[in-house]
Copies of this chain bind each other. A is one copy, B any other.
Amino acid sequence: MNEFDLIARHFQRPTPQTLLGPGDDSALIEVAPGMELAVSSDMLVAGVHFLPDTEPRDLGWKTLAVNLSDLAAMGARARWALLALSLPVADEAWLAAFSAGFFSCAQQFQVDLAGGDMSRMTRGGALSLCATVIGEVPTGQALRRDGAQAGDDVWLSGYPGLAALGLKHLQGKTVLPDALCRLCVHRLQAPVPRLLLGQLLRPLAHAAIDVSDGLMADVAHIAKKSRLAARIFLHRLPRPPQGVERALALESLLSGGDDYELAFTAGAQQRPAIAQIAAQLDLPLWRIGQMKADATTPAVQLIDSEGKIVPWEKQGYDHFLALPSFS
């Protein structure tokens, strides 16, 4: 079986939202009136962005999920994806498992795999994956990083930090109780893009970002883009899970970037509406901080319950710096 047949077998599925799907030079898509498009690409390389022995099914899910998370952070509805992959060996079992994971995510979030480049398979080199996602958002209503306002509450979804704990466990750097370990590894391998949350927040939030570089670093992105400063209140952060050393849990929460939760800001008058969304989605939404007008201070500061600044050096995940700990 040549590569064209392999591609057709594993990557051509119905594309009901697409004018012309895989198999031509480009895919063709049509945008609904009154909508603009949110577009984003992410590349994942084996040994850098995921452990080389990651299950291909998990990897397929994650490749799409981390991209969809970018659309979630814009408040967009996901519609199409393109996938480019470079595979060291033409391993059909691997392709079958990878595509099963990818399409499992695509179906759950109603995304068409419209096209891409699956022909560039190779006999050498690292496994590289690149997904591009395209979503629709009503014109002018996207949640940007630069829209935060002084006085806004800073919010955070879910339980960030679990994925970073899962990674540390897989790397043999910490030992977690069994049940917690399974949860953390699952969060690492199968993150859930918060697409519905993003869409529900569109009329409420002023700014949003997905936490992929680490909470402190990502809230700093919002603050810098909005020319404000953010204060994160230590005592308002989600409690660390039981069975984990507190310092490790806090570091994972503040600088871990693999959970793909959303951080966002909104005016205080939106608190009841945001609480309602949390109940509707059965997803905790934590009010963890506040935006301040004083842009002369650091973009983000951690504050304890007495109002004192907690020294916090690590400003998130810088890929150049972080790699040595990953090998």
Which A residues fall within an 8 A CB radius of B? Answer: 2-3, 19-20, 23-31, 33, 36-49, 69-71, 73-74, 76, 80, 82-86, 90, 114-117, 119-126, 128, 130, 132, 134-135, 137, 139, 142, 144-146, 208-210, 213, 225, 318-320, 323-324, 327
* Distance A116 CA – B70 CA, assembled complex (angstroms): 11
Among A44, A84, A139, find the residue whose CB has the most chain B CB atoms closer than 10 A: A84
Copies in the complex: 2
Q: List 7 A-B contacts (CB under 8 A).
A: A3-B319, A26-B76, A30-B139, A39-B115, A43-B117, A122-B319, A122-B323
Please determine whether B70 and A26 come into contact, CB atoms closer than 8 angstroms.
Answer: yes
Asked if B80 and A120 make an inter-chain contact with CB atoms under 8 angstroms apart, the answer reads no
Cβ-neighbour of A29 out of B24, B39, B86, B324 (below 8 A) = B39
**Chain B residues with Cβ under 8 A from A19's Cβ?**
36
Taking a contact as CB atoms under 8 Å apart, the answer to whether B320 and A42 are in contact is: no
Chain B residues, Cβ within 8 Å of A2: 318, 320
User: Complex formed: what's the CA distance from A116 to B73 in Å?
Assistant: 15
Q: How far in angstroms is the closest Cβ of chain B from A6?
A: 9
Smallest CB–CB gap between A15 and chain B, Å? 12
**Chain B residues in 8 Å Cβ range of A44:** 120
B144 touches A24 (CB 8 A): yes
List of B residues within 8 angstroms of A114 by Cβ: 39
Closest to A4 in B: B318
CA distance A123 to B85 in the complex (A): 20
Smallest CB-CB separation from A126: which chain B residue? B125
CB contact under 8 A between A47 and B125, given known A70-B25, A115-B41:
yes
Residues in B whose Cβ lies below 8 Å from that of A33: 33
Residues in B with CB closer than 8 Å to A318 are 2-3
Q: What chain B residues lie within 8 Å of A27 (beta carbons)?
A: 38-40
> Contacts of A85 on B, CB cut-off 8 Å?
43
- The distance from the CB of A120 to the nearest CB of chain B, in whole angstroms, is 5
CB distance from A146 to the nearest CB of B (A): 8
CA distance A145 to B2 in the complex (A): 20
Q: Determine the distance from Cα of A79 to Cα of B210 in the docked complex, in whole angstroms.
A: 27
Which B residue sits closest to A45, measured CB to CB?
B86
Contacts of A145 in B (CB 8 A): 23-25
A255 to chain B, nearest CB (A): 15
Task: Provide the bound-state CA to CA distance between A40 and B145, in Å.
Answer: 27
CB-CB < 8 A to A135: which residues of B?
26
CB pair B82 A40 closer than 8 Å: yes
Residues on B with C-beta less than 8 A from A41 are 41, 82-84, 115-117, 130, 132
Contact A45 B210 (CB under 8 A): no
A138 CB to nearest chain B CB (Å) = 11
